[in-house]
Amino acid sequence: MIYFKNGEFLEEQQMNLSVNDRGYAFGDGVYEVIKVYDGVLYTAQEHLERLIESAEKIRMPLPYTIEQLTNIAQKLLTENQLSVGHIYLQVTRGVAPRAHQFPESDIPPVIIGYTVVNPRPVEHLKMGTAMKSVEDMRWLRCDIKSLNLLGNVLAKQEAIEHSCQEALFVRDGLVREGSASNVFGIKDGILHTHPANNFILNGITRRVVLQIAKDLAIPVVEKEFTLAEALAMDEFFFTSTNAEITPVITIDGKQIGEGVPGPLTRKLQSAFDGQIPMLVSAGNAKERESNGTAS
């Protein structure tokens, strides 16, 4: 596999990362995960804009333009012949002797990237999955895609230990987001989700879903709701780059709606699939097959 580090494409053994990297010592950096479908980057522009925004929010200048970052991502996926999976990009404040404050002299950030083979979670997308509520003990800048993920790590582990796929963060009695996803509820035909503020990461998939809802004339309310309100939703799902639109059929062991993925969730899923060229062509192939016209 080919990796990227500060302008070079390297083999793993050439990566040579420092123990004094501030990402390693402090989690002092930001990252992005960009989906690749059939060898094509998906919503890369939006992810890279967010990477630059996250870097600005932690006062770390990025010496790369969106165009350069796109070229890096593109070269990584081509070199590694990635078909379906994602590109991981990470930027840290650089290498300096360990001291909490920013290094005095200007040091270059360390940017690395690599590809991950990762098939679509088709079983979860079809059957739905379980969430476990967890107290949100993270900091107050969850809008930054920071490398500091300890709160997310502990929440996810707690969910897994309770046989749930994802954690549901609750802070001040209000449902915020998943450990690595955004959440949505549907009640009486209205789509509810948390507003994009400092308590959540404004997910790229979240934005795609909101655009789809607008296109389909599904009413949307971007306002906090409680855990009790979440449990009373007709449908529930979480979204992320890799999870896409994953239906949730139980929260804390309690059934949501009919306990199966609901009709509006299905509608949003199929509109989402309709935006991904690979899925559109696969769907067409299936249709041709069932019509007996497969070539």
Nearest approach, Cβ of 39 to ligand PDD (angstroms)? 20
**DSSP code at position 19:** T
What's the CA gap between 141 and 196, in Å, rounded? Answer: 12
x/- map, 142-181, ligand PDD, by CB under 6 A: ----------x------------------------x--xx
Minimum CB separation from ligand PDD for residue 13, in Å? 25
Q: Quick check: 204 binds ligand PDD (CB under 6 A)?
A: yes
Residue 145 is among the residues annotated as catalytic for this protein: yes
In the bound state with ligand PDD, the residue whose beta carbon lies nearer, of 96 and 120, is 120
Site for ligand PDD in 33-52 (CB under 6 A): 33
> Which residue's CB is nearer to ligand PDD, number 17 or number 153?
153
Give which of 90, 93, 123, 87 is closest to 106, Cα–Cα.
93
3-state SS, residue 275: coil
Q: Which of 80, 115, 182, 193 binds ligand PDD (CB under 6 A)?
A: 182
User: Among residues 35, 57, 132, 145, which one is catalytic?
Assistant: 145
Q: What burial class does residue 8 get, using C-beta atoms within 10 Å of its C-beta: 0-12 exposed, 13-18 middle, 19+ buried?
A: exposed
Query: Is residue 132 within 8 Å of 158, Cβ to Cβ?
Result: yes
Scanning the chain, the segments in alpha helix (DSSP H) are 22-26, 44-57, 66-79, 122-127, 150-161, 204-215, 227-231, 263-273, 277-290
Nearest to 202 by CA among 132, 153, 145, 242: 145
Give yes or no for residue 242 binding ligand PDD (CB under 6 A): yes
Among 54, 115, 193, 240, contact with ligand PDD (rule: CB under 6 A) = 240
Question: Would you say 113 or 203 has its CB closer to ligand PDD?
Answer: 203
Give catalytic residues, as residue numbers: 145
Q: Which residues bind ligand PDD (CB under 6 A)?
A: 33, 152, 177, 180-182, 201, 203-206, 239-242
